[in-house]
Amino acid sequence: MYITKDIPLLFAPDTLGLLFLVLTVFMWVMDLIFAIEYMKHLAHKRRYYFFYTLTLVSMIGVCLSGNLITMYIFYEFMSLMSLPLVLHEQTPEAIAAGKKYIFYSIGGAFIGLAGFFFIYTYGTTLTFTPGGVLDLNALAGHETAMMVVTLLVLIGFGSKAGMFPLHGWLPTAHPVAPSPASAYLSGNITKMGVLVIIRFVYYLVGPDFIRGTWVQYAFLILTMLTILMGSMMAYKETTFKKRLAYSTVSQVSYALFGIALLNPIGFAGGLMHVVFHSFAKNTLFQVAGAIIHMTGFKKVSEFKDLARKMPVTMWCYTLASLTLVGVPPTSAFLSKWYLATGSLNEGITVISWLGPVVLILSALLTAGYLLSIVLKAFFPGDEYDYPCLQKKEPNLYMLVPMIIMTALAVIAGVWAGPLMKVVDIIVCELL
C-alpha cells in the first residue's frame, strides 16, 4: 500500500519492534484487568475502553512500522486516541490537562516532522535500516543543517518520553486521568517516544553520524538534566500521582541516557530500563489507583499507617519502589549498572564520570520521595494515635495485576537471561 507513488505504508516486524510490542500488549492487559474494578463506579466506561483499545492499536502500529512515515502516522494517531483518556473525567482540570497534553504531543511531533523531510531528501530510503540511511555524498555541505534537525527531532519526539524541555504534560495529565490510564501513559505510552528516538538515531541518521559531535553531547546533557530535575520535582511534590508523574519524567530519561551514549553497554542498559521501568511504574500507578479507590486518599500526608489497612497493596508499592531506586537484586539495579558502566566506558570528557554521579544523586532522591511513603505507611511513629482499622484491600481484579508486575519487577533482575538474549540481538545488529 502506497501513500504516494514512492512512499509506502510499510510494516516490517523486527526484534526491537517486537520487544516493545510484547511489553505494550502485556501491560495493556494488566491495566485492563485492573480497570475492570476501578472503572466500575465511573461514568462513560464504554468510551474509556473504546479509546483505550484504539490507543493499543495505534501503539502496535508504531512498534511494527517499517519506515518513518508509517511510524509517524501511527504515532500521531496514538496521541489523538489517548487524549480522551486524559479528558475522561471532564472536570476543568482534566480539560486543561488534555489541552496541554495534545499541544505538547502534536507540537513535539511537528518539530520531529523536520526529520522526515531531511531523511527524504538526503537519505537513500525511508525504510528503517540498521546503521542509518544517509547518503553522505548528497549530504555534503549540509551536515550542520542535518545535525540541527537531528537535535530538533530528539527534542520533539522526546516530548512523549517526558524529556526536558517538553516534559510539562506529564505532571499535569497524570493526576487527572483515571489511574489505569495514568499507568499506561507513564509505563508505556512514554516508551513510544523512546522507540521513535531509537529508530531515528540508529536506523535513519545512524549513530556514526552524531557520535562525538555537539548533537550527542547536547542529547546527553538534556537527558541528565531531565533525570536530576524530575527527581528533585518529585521529591518536593505532595500529591501522590503527581509525584509519580515527575518520577516518570526522571526515570524514562535513564533509558534515553543509555541511547545517547551510542555504545553497546549503555544502549543495552537503556533497553533494559524501558522494560524494568514499565513493570515498576505501572505497579506504582495501580497502587495509587487502589488507594484512591478504597480510601480516597490522594496526598502523601494521608498515608500514615496505611499498611495496616492495605498490607498487600503497600508491599507491592514497597517492592516496586525499591526497584526504581535500584536496590539489588531488583531489576532496575541491573539496568542502572549497565548505564553507569556504559557512561564510564564512553570516554567523553566530563560526561563519562558526570553520568554515574547524576544516576547516583537521582537514586538517592528517588529513595527519598518513594521510601518516605513506606515509612509513613509502616512506621507512623510513637506519637501517632492508632485507630481501630479494618483491612480495606481491593479485590482480585486490582490485586492480581499488581502482584504479577511487582514479582516481575523484582525477579527480572535475578533471572534476566531471556531478556538479555533479546537485548544482545538488538545491540549486535545496531552496534
Q: What is the DSSP string of 182-209?
A: HHHIIIIIHHHHHHHHHIIIIIII-HHH
The CA distance from 16 to 129, in Å, is 12
Q: pLDDT digit of tens for each residue in the chain (431 aa)?
A: 777 777 888 999 999 999 999 999 999 999 999 999 999 888 899 999 999 999 999 999 999 999 999 999 999 999 999 999 999 989 999 999 999 999 999 999 999 999 999 999 999 999 999 999 999 999 999 999 999 999 999 999 999 999 999 998 999 998 899 999 999 999 999 999 999 999 999 999 999 999 999 999 999 999 999 999 999 999 999 999 999 999 999 999 999 999 999 999 999 999 999 999 999 999 999 999 999 999 888 899 888 888 888 999 999 999 999 999 999 999 999 999 999 999 998 878 888 899 999 999 999 999 999 999 999 988 887 666 556 566 788 999 999 999 999 999 999 988 999 999 999 999 999 98
Nearest to 323 by CA among 286, 358, 273, 365: 273
Single-letter amino acid, residue 406:
T
* Structural domain for 187, as ranges: 2-430
Q: What is the pLDDT of residue 43?
A: 87
Nearest to 188 by CA among 21, 13, 338, 319: 21
The answer to whether the beta carbons of residues 313 and 391 sit under 8 Å apart is no
> For residue 94, how far is the Cα from the chain centroid?
21
Residue 367 is predicted with a pLDDT of 96
pLDDT at 58: 97
At 73, which amino acid appears?
I
Task: Compute and round to an integer the Cα radius of gyration of the chain.
Answer: 21
pTM: 0.95
Q: Are residues 97 and 172 in contact, defined by beta-carbon separation less than 8 angstroms?
A: yes
Residue type, 420: M
Nearest 5°: the CA angle 79, 82, 85 is 150
Q: What pLDDT shows up at residue 237?
A: 93
Ramachandran angles phi, psi of 287, nearest 5°: -60, -45
CA distance 100 to 282: 22
Q: Please state whether 206 falls in left (phi above 0), alpha (psi between -120 and 50) or beta.
A: left
Question: In this structure, are residues 104 and 168 in contact, taking their beta carbons and an 8 Å threshold?
Answer: yes
Considering Cα of 327, then 362, then 190, then 238, what sign does the dihedral take?
positive
CA 405 to chain centre: 16
Contact of 200 with 309, CB cutoff 8 Å: no
* Contact in structure between 151 and 219 (CB atoms under 8 Å): yes
Q: Give DSSP secondary structure letters for 60-86.
A: HHHHHB-BHHHHHHHHHHHHHHHHHHH
CA of 362: how far to CAs of 313, 332, 384, in Å? 25, 13, 31
Q: Give the integer Cα–Cα distance in Å for 313 and 315.
A: 5
How many domains in the chain?
1
CA 299 to centroid of chain Cα atoms: 23
